[in-house]
């Protein structure tokens, strides 16, 4: 009997044991966070102002998607557990969103409520950048000088908040001075037809038009240009010079909008999208016109981007003007030279031009074509080296290009 009871107990225990083993659950697989992205990488705030940052954690099915927020300088800007950033006092701070072992950062620039934003001209470039942007982390060097009463040049180099070296060259020109004007230049001082000079260094273009009563003070490169084929060197967009239309169409690229700048005898500068060109042409007042790429600032407002290389850092050339459309700003950023200047992207171009008081600004040709020229002080018309290349072109030397823009003094 005892043997029977024992065998029965064993018979009951064995299947129960197997049943128990079948029920053991394996631990769930942990899905790690692969990345964190913020909807903004920089915020410009005024003391007391607040804005939300939104963090996106990938993959969507990560096991733990909790985000923690922190500020590198809570005395400047705080952030709460929901990503609400509040500006405390003037300065800069970095807000970090962390999920798992991944993180993303946003640079916060806080302005004082009473920070002066006067519409002065010429503007103090360094002070404007320091007060109105978060571009400068450490100022490396700066110098300002006047090639003419109403032409001011500033050369500034700095370390930005990403830790990269930058070098920019700024020329502010007051066209309200009747002695000063601007004009397009072309290779060989001719049109872009077959058999003519197709590409030429900007300093050589300037020499062709530099003469008594028509002294070139300096200038920059302008429109993109074709590099191959029969019409190599021809502008990519519409181009007028001395009242003559050299090219009447814009290159068509889906992701690269074309825009233009024009002025007449009164030296009032106008800017528009390619779709605005027929109306400008219909005025019958165009003396000079050059084209470019993306409009950066339109009626004082930052534009959104269609350009396909928005966030790339490259050498760049820009043209802008203030609320007084006879006060213009020419800017060249060097790039592709890490120990000197890495180059600038579109958002930083906008911040830079906005800080300099530009109500309108346009991106024109860059890369190895970016050239910033200033006449050597006191140089005669026969001095072969009278035009100084103040920037450091990424090719290592001045490039032969298509069209350019010269600042002329008639005194």
Mean pLDDT across the chain: 89
CB atoms within 10 A of CB 25: 5
Strands, E assignment, 222-347: 239-241, 244-247, 259-263, 269-273, 288-292, 295-298, 301-302, 316-321, 327-333
> Which residue is listed with tokens 């400068």?
136
Q: How confident is the model at residue 4 (pLDDT cuts 50, 70, 90)?
A: very low
Residue 18 pLDDT: 46
201-218: per-residue pLDDT in tens? 999 999 999 999 999 999
Sign of the CA dihedral with 249 first, then 253, 254, and 256 last? negative
Q: How confident is the model at residue 230 (pLDDT cuts 50, 70, 90)?
A: confident
Mean pLDDT score, 329-355: 96
Structure tokens at 274: 């390619």
Calculate what percentage of the chain has a pLDDT beyond 90.
Answer: 73
Residue 228 pLDDT: 81
Residue 134 contacts residue 161 (beta carbons within 8 Å): yes
Q: Tell me the C-alpha distance between 276 and 371, whole Å.
A: 28
DSSP letter for 304, please.
P
Residue 95 contacts residue 85 (beta carbons within 8 Å): yes
Q: What is the CA radius of gyration of the chain?
A: 30
Distances (CA, A) of 195 to 176, 187, 207, 244, 282: 39, 12, 21, 19, 31
CA nearest to 126, candidates 140, 115, 110, 114: 140
Mean pLDDT score, 304-311: 66
Give per-residue burial for 243-269: e unless 16+ CB within 10 Å, then b.
Answer: eeebbeebbeeeebbbbbbbbbeebeb
Query: Which of the two residues, 49 and 331, has the higher pLDDT score?
Result: 331
CA nearest to 109, candidates 363, 354, 316: 354
pTM of the model: 0.76
Calculate what percentage of the chain has a pLDDT beyond 70.
Answer: 89
Q: Tell me the C-alpha distance between 47 and 42, whole Å.
A: 16
Phi, psi of 166 (to 5 degrees): -140, 145
Query: Which of the two residues, 287 and 193, has the higher pLDDT score?
Result: 287
Q: How confident is the model at residue 156 (pLDDT cuts 50, 70, 90)?
A: very high
The β-bridge partners of 269 are 263
Residue 112 pLDDT: 75
Angle at CA 127, nearest 5°, toward 165 and 269? 95
Structure tokens at 181: 């004007």
Q: How confident is the model at residue 12 (pLDDT cuts 50, 70, 90)?
A: very low
Q: How confident is the model at residue 114 (pLDDT cuts 50, 70, 90)?
A: low
């Amino acid at each position: 009997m005892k043997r029977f009871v024992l065998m029965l107990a064993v018979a009951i225990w064995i299947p129960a044991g197997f049943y128990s083993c079948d029920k053991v659950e394996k631990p769930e697989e942990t899905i790690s966070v692969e990345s964190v992205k913020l909807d903004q990488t920089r915020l410009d705030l005024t003391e007391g102002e607040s804005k939300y940052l939104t963090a996106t954690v990938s993959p969507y099915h990560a096991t733990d998607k909790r985000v923690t927020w922190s500020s590198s300088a809570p005395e400047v800007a705080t952030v709460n557990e929901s990503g609400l950033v509040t500006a405390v006092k003037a300065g800069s701070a970095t807000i970090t969103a962390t999920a798992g072992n991944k993180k993303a950062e946003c640079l916060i620039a806080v302005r004082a409520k009473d920070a002066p934003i006067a519409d002065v001209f010429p503007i103090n470039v360094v002070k404007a950048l320091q007060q109105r942007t978060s571009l400068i982390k450490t100022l490396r060097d700066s110098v300002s000088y006047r090639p003419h009463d109403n032409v001011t040049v500033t050369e500034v180099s700095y370390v930005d908040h990403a830790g990269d070296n930058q070098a920019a060259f700024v020329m502010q020109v007051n066209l309200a001075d009747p002695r000063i004007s601007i004009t397009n230049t072309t290779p060989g001082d001719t049109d872009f037809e077959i058999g003519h000079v197709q590409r030429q260094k900007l300093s050589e273009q300037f020499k062709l038009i530099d003469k008594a009563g028509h002294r070139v003070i300096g200038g920059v490169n302008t429109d993109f240009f074709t590099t191959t084929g029969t019409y190599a060197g021809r502008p990519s967009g519409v181009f007028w010079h001395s009242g003559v239309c050299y090219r009447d169409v814009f290159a068509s690229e889906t992701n690269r909008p074309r825009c233009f700048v024009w002025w007449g005898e009164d030296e009032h500068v106008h800017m528009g999208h390619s779709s605005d060109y027929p109306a400008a042409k219909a005025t019958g007042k165009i003396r000079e016109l050059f084209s470019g790429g993306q409009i950066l600032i339109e009626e004082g407002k930052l534009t959104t981007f269609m350009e396909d290389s928005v966030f790339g850092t490259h050498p760049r050339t820009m043209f802008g003007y203030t609320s007084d459309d006879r006060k213009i700003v020419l800017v060249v950023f060097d790039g592709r030279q890490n120990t000197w200047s890495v180059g600038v992207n579109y958002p930083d171009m906008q911040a830079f031009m906005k800080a300099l008081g530009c109500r309108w600004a346009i991106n024109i040709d860059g890369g190895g074509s970016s050239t910033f020229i200033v006449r050597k002080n006191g140089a005669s018309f026969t001095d072969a080296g009278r035009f100084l290349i103040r920037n450091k072109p990424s090719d290592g030397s001045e490039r032969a290009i298509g069209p350019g823009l010269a600042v002329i003094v008639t005194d």
